[in-house]
C-alpha cells in the first residue's frame, strides 16, 4: 500500500473509488436502487480520467458492453442490484464461456421478483451456482465492511484478469449504503498483459476469435474440461475465509457479508462473557471455504449459519460438514434486519448449556 | 496480365458453409472488399451475431468477438467505446437485429455509436429452420406461420432502415439488394459508405441488404433470387434513406 488516505465513505462509493484505483476506466450500467451511487460517482470521475461512462438502455445491454470491452482486454465494470443481475446472467454465461474478464457488482436487494429494496442475501444461489446457462462458475467476493468494498473490488479486477473470468462482488443494501472510515490505497501490481489473447485488431497476426460456440466433435467437452480445470485451480489458490476459533470452541457461527458483521458483534459479546464461540466468515462464496468449515466440524463443534434469507449458504455448509457436526440455521429474509441481540439469543439457544432454554 | 477477380485478402480460404444460392457469402465478400479497400484489417474488430452468420469468424481473417443473440450492438459499443481507434462492424440477421436485439440496435443508433452495421434481411429465421421473423412478408408461410403471415395475428413486417434513419445518431442508412449485378454494385457502394461514415465519425452507418434463403423459402436458388425483386423490393424499397453530409453536425 502507498499513497493511502483515510476518508469517511459510503460503501458504494468506496467500491467505485476502488475500481478507478484498480485501473478500471470503463463502466456500463443501468440505474437500480440500492447501487445507483456507483454509476453516479463514476459518471463524474471516468470522463475526467480518460475513461468512458455509458448508461445503457438495459442491464442486458450493459453486460454485453462489458463483454465487448473485456474481450479487447480493457478493465471494465458493470454494477446492478438483484433484478438487474438476473438480466445480466445471459452475458455472464457468455463471458465465462468465452473467457472474458470483467467485474460485476451486485448490491443485493430483496426478491424474488420486484421484491423490495431492503438488504437481503437472497442471491447467494444465483451468484455461486453460475447463475446463467451452462457448466461454469463465477468468482464471488463478499465484502463485510466499507473497507472491504474497496479492497475486494481491487482484488476482483486482479482475479478477473488472472483467470480470464467474470468476477462478482456480492454486497447488499446495508454494506452499500452505510458509511465507515475508508483507507484508500493505490494498488501497485501491474495489470497483466493481454497481448496473447485479446481482440485488439489482427496487426501482424492472424485474426482471433473470442467465442463460446464449439460445434466440432468433442470440442465443447474439451472446452468445458478446460474451464473445469481453471475452476479447480481457483478453488486451490483463491479460497478466502476469516476464521476465529477459540480454544475449546463450543459453537461456531458461519456468516458472510452484512449478516457476518451483525453476527460478529454477538460472537464478541459472548466471548467477552466467557463463552467460547467461533466465527467463520467466507470471503469468497465461490470458491466456498469448505475445508475451513470441515476442519471446525471435525473437532465436533456445532455450527450455526446466519443468513439474510430463508437458507441458502447453509446448504454449502452442510455439504462441507458432511454430517460430522450439527448445523443449525438462523434465517432473516427481507423485512427484518436482525440485531446483534437477536443473533446473541440464537447462539445462546444453541450453546450446550443453553439448550434447555430452546 | 491484370487479374480482374481476386479473393479479398481479409477472407480466409475456408469454403463457406452457406446453402447454395444463399446471399450471406456474397455479403461476406462485400464486407471483406471494404476492409481491404480501406486497409483496416489490422485494426478491425467485429462483433458476430447468432444465426447463419455466426461463423463469421471462420471466414474473416480479423479479430471477432462472438455476441449473444441480438446483442452485437451492445458488444460493439463496448469494443468501440474502449477502442475508439479501432474499426468496428457488426453483422446481424433480421431475427437477430429486428426481434431479440431491437432495443440494442435502436439505442446504439440513438447514441450515435460510430459503428458500421451490416443487416441481412432474408425475411426468415434461417439457422433455426425457417420460423417467422419480424421481416416476414404478409402472406409468407414459414414454419411458425404455416398459413402465411397475417397482420391481425402477427403484425406487419418491420422496416428497420426507415425506422433507424429517423434517429439523429445515424449518419448513413440505406437498403440495398444483391440479386442483380447492377444492384450488387450499388450494394458495394453502400457498404463502402457505411465504412466511411465510421471513419468520418458521423455516427452509425447502417446497411440493410435484402438477401435470399432458398432453403427456408423452399425455392430453387434462381427462383429465390427472383423473389427478391418480385416480393421483397416492393415492400422494402431500396435506396439511401439518410446520408449525413460533411458539414452536418452530429
Ligand atoms: C437467446 C437465444 N434465443 C434463440 C436462439 C436460437 N436462434 C439461433 S439463430 C436464430 C435465428 C437467426 O435468424 P436471423 O437473425 O434472421 O439470421 P439467419 O440465420 O436468417 O441468417 C435463433 C432464433 C439463440 N441462439 N439464443
Ligand atoms: S438457411 Fe438460409 S440464410 Fe442460412 S445459410 Fe441456408 S440459405 Fe443461407
- Which pLDDT tens digit goes with each residue over B137-159? 999 999 999 999 999 999 999 99
Q: Note whether B75 contacts A64, CB cutoff 8 Å.
A: yes
Asked if the peptide bond before residue A34 counts as cis, ω within 30 degrees of 0, the response is yes
3-state secondary structure of A34: coil
Per-residue pLDDT at A357: 39
pLDDT average per 10 residues of sequence, chain A (358 residues)? 78 98 98 97 98 98 98 98 98 98 98 96 97 97 98 98 98 97 94 96 96 96 98 98 97 98 98 98 98 97 98 98 98 95 97 56
Cα–Cα distance, B62 to B249 (Å, whole number):
32
**Quick one: which ligand is closest to B72's CA?**
1
Instruction: Nearest by CB to B62, from A26, A98, A207: name it.
Output: A207
Of B44, B81, B107, Cβ closest to residue A61: B107
Distance B68 CA to ligand 2 centre (A): 19
Q: What is the pLDDT of residue A354?
A: 47
- The angle formed by the CA atoms of residues B210, B216 and B218, to the nearest 5 degrees, is 105
pLDDT for the residue A153: 98
User: Strand A303-307 relative to strand A251-254: parallel, antiparallel, unpaired?
Assistant: parallel
Interface check for B100 against chain A (CB to CB < 8 A): the answer is: no
User: Strand pairing partners for B11?
Assistant: B60
- Predicted confidence (pLDDT) per residue in B115-135, tens digit: 999 999 999 999 999 999 999
Whether chain A has a CB inside 8 Å of the CB on B112: the answer is no
Q: Is A206 on the interface with B (CB under 8 A)?
A: yes
- pLDDT score at B246: 61
Q: Say which of A90, A208, A209 has its CB closest to residue B68.
A: A90
Ligand nearest to the CA of B95: 1
Q: What is the rounded CA–CA span in Å between residue B207 and residue B176?
A: 7
Nearest one of A179, A10, A14, A153 to A78, comparing CA atoms: A153
Sign, Cα dihedral of B218, B221, B223, B224: positive
**How many Cβ pairs closer than 8 A exist between chain A and B?**
143
pLDDT per residue as tens digits for the range B39-79: 999 999 999 999 999 999 999 999 999 999 999 999 999 99
Q: Enter the C-alpha cell of residue A308.
A: 439474510
Nearest CA to ligand 2 atom 1: B126
pLDDT score of B164 more than 60: yes
Supply B40's cell numbers.
483496416
Give the per-residue pLDDT at A335: 87
Measured over the CA atoms of residue B185, residue B189, residue B195 and residue B199, the dihedral's sign is positive
Question: C-alpha cell of B91?
Answer: 453483422
Index of the ligand 2 atom closest to the CA of residue B19: 6
| Cell output for A70 | 473485456
List, in order, residues 6 or more apart from B114 with CB less than 8 Å away: B80, B84, B88, B198, B201, B202, B203, B204
For residue B224, the ligand closest to its alpha carbon is: 2
Q: How far is the CA of B18 from the centre of ligand 2 (A)?
A: 6
Question: For residue B87, how far is its CA from the centre of ligand 2 (angstroms)?
Answer: 27
| Any atom of ligand 2 within 6 Å of the Cβ of B211 | no
**Residue B93 CB–ligand 1 contact under 6 Å:** yes
Amino acid at each position: 500500500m502507498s499513497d493511502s488516505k483515510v476518508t469517511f465513505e459510503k460503501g458504494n462509493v468506496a467500491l467505485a473509488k476502488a475500481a478507478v484505483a484498480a485501473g478500471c476506466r470503463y463502466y456500463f450500467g443501468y440505474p437500480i436502487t440500492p447501487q445507483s451511487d456507483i454509476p453516479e460517482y463514476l459518471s463524474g470521475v471516468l470522463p475526467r480520467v480518460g475513461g468512458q461512462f455509458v448508461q445503457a438502455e438495459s442491464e442486458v445491454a450493459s453486460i454485453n458492453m462489458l463483454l465487448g470491452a473485456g474481450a479487447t482486454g480493457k478493465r471494465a465494470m458493470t454494477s446492478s442490484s438483484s433484478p438487474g443481475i438476473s438480466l445480466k446472467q445471459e452475458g455472464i454465461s457468455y463471458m465465462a464461456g468465452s473467457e472474458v474478464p470483467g467485474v460485476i457488482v451486485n448490491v443485493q436487494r430483496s426478491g424474488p421478483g420486484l421484491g423490495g429494496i431492503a438488504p437481503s442475501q437472497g442471491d447467494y444461489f444465483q451468484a455461486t451456482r453460475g447463475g446463467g446457462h451452462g457448466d461454469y462458475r463465477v468468482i464471488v467476493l463478499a465484502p463485510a465492511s466499507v473497507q472491504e468494498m474497496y479492497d475486494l473490488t481491487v482484488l476482483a479486477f486482479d482475479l478477473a484478469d488472472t483467470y480470464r473470468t467474470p468476477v462478482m462482488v456480492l454486497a447488499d443494501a446495508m454494506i452499500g449504503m452505510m458509511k465507515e472510515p475508508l483507507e484508500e490505497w493505490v494498488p501497485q501490481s501491474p495489470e497483466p498483459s493481454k497481448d496473447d489473447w485479446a481482440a485488439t485488431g489482427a496487426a501482424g497476426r492472424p485474426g482471433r476469435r473470442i467465442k463460446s460456440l464449439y460445434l466440432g466433435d468433442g470440442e465443447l467437452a474439451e472446452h468445458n474440461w478446460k474451464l473445469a480445470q481453471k475452476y479447480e485451480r481457483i478453488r486451490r489458490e483463491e479460497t478466502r475465509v476469516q476464521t476465529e476459533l477459540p480454544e475449546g470452541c463450543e459453537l461456531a457461527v458461519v456468516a458472510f457479508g452484512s449478516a457476518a458483521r451483525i453476527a460478529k458483534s454477538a460472537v464478541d459479546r459472548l466471548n467477552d462473557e466467557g463463552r467460547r464461540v467461533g466465527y467463520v466468515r467466507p470471503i469468497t462464496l465461490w470458491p466456498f471455504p469448505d475445508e475451513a468449515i470441515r476442519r471446525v466440524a471435525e473437532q465436533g463443534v456445532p455450527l450455526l449459519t446466519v443468513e439474510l434469507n430463508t437458507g441458502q449458504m447453509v446448504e454449502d455448509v452442510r455439504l462441507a460438514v458432511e454430517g460430522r457436526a450439527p448445523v443449525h440455521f438462523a434465517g432473516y429474509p427481507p423485512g427484518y434486519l436482525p440485531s446483534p441481540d437477536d443473533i446473541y439469543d440464537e447462539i445462546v439457544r444453541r450453546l450446550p448449556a443453553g439448550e434447555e432454554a430452546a | 496480365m491484370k487479374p480482374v477477380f481476386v479473393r479479398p485478402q481479409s477472407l480466409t480460404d475456408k469454403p463457406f458453409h452457406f446453402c447454395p444460392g444463399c446471399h450471406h457469402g456474397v455479403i461476406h465478400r462485400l464486407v471483406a472488399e471494404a476492409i481491404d479497400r480501406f486497409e483496416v484489417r489490422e485494426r478491425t474488430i467485429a462483433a458476430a451475431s447468432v444465426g447463419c452468420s455466426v461463423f463469421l469468424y471462420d471466414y474473416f481473417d480479423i479479430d471477432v468477438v462472438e455476441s449473444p443473440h441480438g446483442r452485437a450492438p451492445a458488444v460493439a459499443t463496448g469494443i468501440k467505446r474502449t477502442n475508439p481507434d479501432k474499426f468496428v462492424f457488426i453483422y446481424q440477421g433480421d431475427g437477430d437485429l429486428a426481434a431479440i436485439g431491437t432495443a440494442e440496435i435502436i439505442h446504439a443508433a440513438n447514441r450515435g455509436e460510430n459503428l458500421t452495421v451490416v443487416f441481412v434481411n432474408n425475411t426468415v429465421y434461417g439457422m433455426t429452420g425457417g420460423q417467422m421473423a419480424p421481416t416476414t412478408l404478409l402472406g409468407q408461410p414459414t414454419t411458425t406461420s404455416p398459413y402465411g403471415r397475417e397482420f391481425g395475428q402477427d403484425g406487419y413486417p418491420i422496416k428497420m432502415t426507415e425506422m433507424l434513419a429517423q434517429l439523429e445518431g445515424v449518419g448513413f442508412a440505406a437498403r440495398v439488394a444483391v440479386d442483380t449485378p447492377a444492384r450488387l454494385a450499388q450494394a458495394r457502394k453502400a457498404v463502402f459508405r457505411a465504412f466511411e461514415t465510421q471513419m468520418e465519425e458521423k455516427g452509425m452507418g447502417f446497411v440493410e441488404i435484402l438477401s435470399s434463403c432458398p432453403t427456408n423459402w423452399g425455392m430453387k436458388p434462381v427462383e429465390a433470387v427472383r423473389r427478391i425483386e418480385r416480393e421483397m423490393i416492393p415492400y422494402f424499397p431500396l435506396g439511401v434513406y439518410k446520408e449525413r453530409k460533411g458539414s452536418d453536425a452530429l
